[in-house]
Amino acid sequence: LGPDDFVRILTEPDASLTEQYAGLMATEEVTLEFTREGINHIAQVAWQVNEQTENIGARRLHTVMERLLESISFEAADRSGHTVVIDPEYVDANLSKLAEDEDLSRYIL
């Protein structure tokens, strides 16, 4: 699977991963907004980690999303009423070191 496939998986199915996480955060009154560019960046990171480590296909998206939204999940109660925009800058800030460091990727993702 390539980055384009990952984008489709993140956006096209009913109850896609992006919709699931947005729904989960909505229970804490936190709004997640995924930009198109942010989704493309998530897909690129997932593909890159698959290429550098074990290629586990689309399952990689779950672990990448989990890591990407980890801080929001733990701080959701404190962010009630806020909107968090998931754009390329947010993705880089939360995943860039993981994607670049093969050893970290292997054990964390």
**51-80: pLDDT as tens digits:** 988 899 999 999 999 999 999 999 988 999
Asked if the model's pLDDT at residue 104 lies above 90, the reply is: no
What structural domains does the chain harbor? 3-108 (1.10.8.60)
What's the pLDDT at 53? 87
Do residues 31 and 83 lie in contact, with contact meaning Cβ atoms separated by under 8 Å? yes
pTM: 0.87
Do residues 18 and 10 lie in contact, with contact meaning Cβ atoms separated by under 8 Å? yes
Helices 59-68 + 3-11 axis angle, to 10: 70
